[in-house]
Structure 1
Amino acid sequence: MAPVKTVCVYCGSGFGGDPAFRDAAEVLGTALAEAGIGLVYGGGDVGLMGTVARAVLAGGGHVTGIIPDFLQAREHMLDAIQETIVVGDMHTRKRLMFERSDAFVALPGGIGTLEELVEQLTWAQLGRHRKPILLVQVADFWTPLLTLFAHMRAHGFIREGLDLSYLVAPDAASVLPMLQAAPGWRGEDPEAERFVAERL
């Protein structure tokens, strides 16, 4: 299996209330840089987004930031990154983040992080890609969502044959080993790529 070359990280534009969230972002960014894996993220210099990006840069890694023009001021673009792509809307941002990434990792975040994560889970559930999706379970942050998934299964809304495909890492240090061991991470499927382009 070829190695993962780029990872998209979804995370908050704030820090949240637990210092463990910021620590996890720093650990993940450092690990990406040490492994020579590029970061694809939302382009901002605030909150966990800025933390993970600066950690990658500090380790000599490559960062690609993709940000809509209307968020440039609010999320304070990180000028030090090697590649910044400014787009016209959120749909284009998400499409490019998908195309540029071999896997997706969700750190703690708000409704935007949740929306991006759930969209990738939906596309994978429908067979539109096979790229790994991983939630980092920092301080049990994702437990309510995992409980909701179990609730959906129990009520028959996540049915056999249409189950969700995701990994749950106990901490940020476990992310890369879990991703690199995941089957079918590449997801290089022309039909899937067309679907995503049309969907966005």
Structure 2
Amino acid sequence: MRRVKSNFIVILLIISSLLISACGIRGNSDFNYMQERNIMKVTIQSTRDKSYKFTVTDKDVINDIYSILSSASVVEEKSTLDPDYTLEIYESPTEFKTFNYVAGLDKKDGANLYNDDNKYIVSKRLDNDIIKNFANIRKPIDFEYVYYTSILSCIDKYVSSNKDAGNVGVNISNDNMAARFQISTEIEEFKKKVNKLKSVTFM
């Protein structure tokens, strides 16, 4: 009986370790310095529009950011998508840590917050509670529909009316007016839809 119990415990430990490996280590102590030391500010900047940046100095908001980051899961692989924002945590004007952040990412798609040393899956609260709450970074109403769907509709009409025009390339990376509102997950969906159109290629 003792041997059966021992084997059962071993099996449970193996299952637990497999689950932890598959899901990542939930929660971490990597951001404890945000509580232990006086963080002067956190900056979040769009990677597509360098002028689009905001700075957090409010202690309550910084504590909220700490809460979100400290509950993040540590994982091995980062997302293959381009980062949407650069997040910097300042202890002093010359001491800061920098992370890349991919907005709106599903947990199964890898780390959405990372740098050269660490990779984390961070709750979408960073999107919903922090980034989207800053008035100057809120997207226009129905941006996804107005922007992406309108482009698709125009391309479709153009291709239908110009059947001998040859291959059409679509490049939105230089659209400076919309750059600050573009995020990689939406661009990826748009890319898939573009590439389904006949004689059209996403560039």
Same fold (TM over 0.5): no
Task: Name the larger-Rg structure.
Answer: 2
Using CA pairs under 8 Å that are at least 6 residues apart, name the structure with larger relative contact order, 1 or 2.
1
- State the TM-score, normalized to the length of structure 2: 0.25
